[in-house]
């Protein structure tokens, strides 16, 4: 049973475009939602994270939008660059635990 | 500061062989975990530990053992390797306790079981 569902599986975007990756969760006890970025041959690294008390968090070109009632959150990458080409994972955890449940990942390719 | 170090980087095993994947961190993190990454499956939690002497099962623990005798080390043991255990394995660590800590991942161990 996939507790965190992620889509799309792959995404191709032209340089300068907007990349959007969506995640949905089932467990209402989740209260921390990070996004991790993984380059080929490397381990994942934290990109940006949000708590459910806010509906949006922005860091540079990366924005998380959060809809608590719909149990959905998404990552928006503005002005996508070839250097953003990587696999992106959404994740979720419950209060006071570092136990992360990951989505299945989205492979993003940004072409010049 | 080395962060999270995994060894070996690559390993080929025959069915039925046993081996230990090593993971060490030098950040004095309490929480450590092991994930496996398979195409289309994302990262799935195998085992985790909230501190020395304390371990628990994740989503896919069968066929794997762990122990945590020190804060720094968290080895993952494959008791009798099977082709279904062919995967990329990642170890991660974080401070633990607050539920919003950054998890730091190692570079991974790519394992093939023939």
* Chain B residues near residue A10 by CB distance under 8 angstroms: none
Q: Is B40 on the interface with A (CB under 8 A)?
A: yes
Q: Is residue A87 domain-resident? A: no
Which positions of chain A have pLDDT values less than 50?
none
Residue B59 three-state SS: coil
Confidence of residue B40 (pLDDT cuts 50, 70, 90): confident
Assigned domain for A91 exists: no
Residue A94 has a pLDDT of: 83
Nearest-angstrom CA–CA distance, B28 and B30: 7
What CATH code is carried by the domain that includes residue A6? 2.60.40.10
- Cβ of A95 and B99 within 8 Å? yes
Inter-chain residue contact A102 with B42, CB threshold 8 Å: yes
Among candidates A42, A49, A101 on the partner chain, residue whose Cβ is nearest the Cβ of B100: A49
Q: How far is Cα A57 from Cα A65, in angstroms, rounded to an integer?
A: 7
Q: Does residue A24 form part of some domain?
A: yes
Q: Does B108 touch chain A (CB under 8 A)?
A: yes
Residue A19 lies in a domain: yes
Please check whether residue A16 lies inside any domain of the structure. yes
- In this predicted model, what pLDDT tens digit does every residue of B77-104 receive, in sequence order? 999 999 999 999 999 999 876 666 789 9
Check CB contact under 8 Å for B100 and A105: no
User: What is the rounded CA–CA span in Å between residue B77 and residue B87?
Assistant: 14
Model pLDDT, residue A2: 66
Q: Specify the range with the lowest mean pLDDT, choosing from A27-31, B29-33, B67-71.
A: A27-31
Q: Is residue A36, in this structure, part of any structural domain at all?
A: no
Residue A98 has its nearest CB partner, among B59, B103, B108, at B103
- Dist. CA B8–CA B19, nearest whole Å: 11
Q: Which residues contact A60 (CB under 8 A, 6 or more apart)?
A: none
Query: Is B1 a residue whose pLDDT tops 90?
Result: no
Asked if the Cβ–Cβ distance from A43 to B48 is below 8 Å, we say no
Domain that holds residue A72: 1-29+44-82+99-112
Task: Tell me how far apart the alpha carbons of residues A75 and A88 are, in angstroms, rounded to a whole number.
Answer: 9
pLDDT at B99: 60
- Looking at the 3D structure of chain A, how many domains does it have? 1
Measured between beta carbons, which residues in chain B are less than 8 angstroms from residue A24?
A: none
Q: Do B99 and A93 touch (CB under 8 A)?
A: yes
- Residue A82 phi, psi dihedral angles, 5° rounding: -55, -35
Domain assignment present for residue A93? The answer is: no
| A8 is a domain residue | yes
Percent of chain B with pLDDT over 90: 88
């Amino acid at each position: 049973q996939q507790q965190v569902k992620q889509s799309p599986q792959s995404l191709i975007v032209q340089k300068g475009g907007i990349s959007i990756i969506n995640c949905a969760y089932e467990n209402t006890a989740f209260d921390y939602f990070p996004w991790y970025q993984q380059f080929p041959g490397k381990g994942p690294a934290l990109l940006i994270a949000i708590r459910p008390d806010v509906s949006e968090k922005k860091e540079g070109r990366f924005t998380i939008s959060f809809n608590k009632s719909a149990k959905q959150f998404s990552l928006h990458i503005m002005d996508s660059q070839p250097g953003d080409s990587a696999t992106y994972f959404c994740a979720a955890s419950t209060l006071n635990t570092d136990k992360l449940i990951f989505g299945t990942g989205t492979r993003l390719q940004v072409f010049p | 500061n080395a962060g999270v170090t995994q060894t070996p980087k690559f390993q080929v095993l025959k069915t039925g062989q046993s081996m230990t994947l090593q993971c060490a961190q030098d950040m004095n993190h309490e929480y450590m975990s092991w994930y496996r990454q398979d195409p289309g499956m994302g990262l799935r939690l195998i085992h985790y530990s909230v501190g020395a002497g304390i371990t628990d099962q994740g989503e896919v623990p069968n066929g794997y053992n762990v122990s945590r005798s020190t804060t720094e080390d968290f080895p993952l043991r494959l008791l009798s390797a099977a082709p279904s255990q062919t995967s990329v394995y990642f170890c991660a660590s974080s401070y633990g306790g607050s539920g919003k800590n950054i998890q730091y991942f190692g570079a991974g161990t790519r394992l093939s079981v023939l």
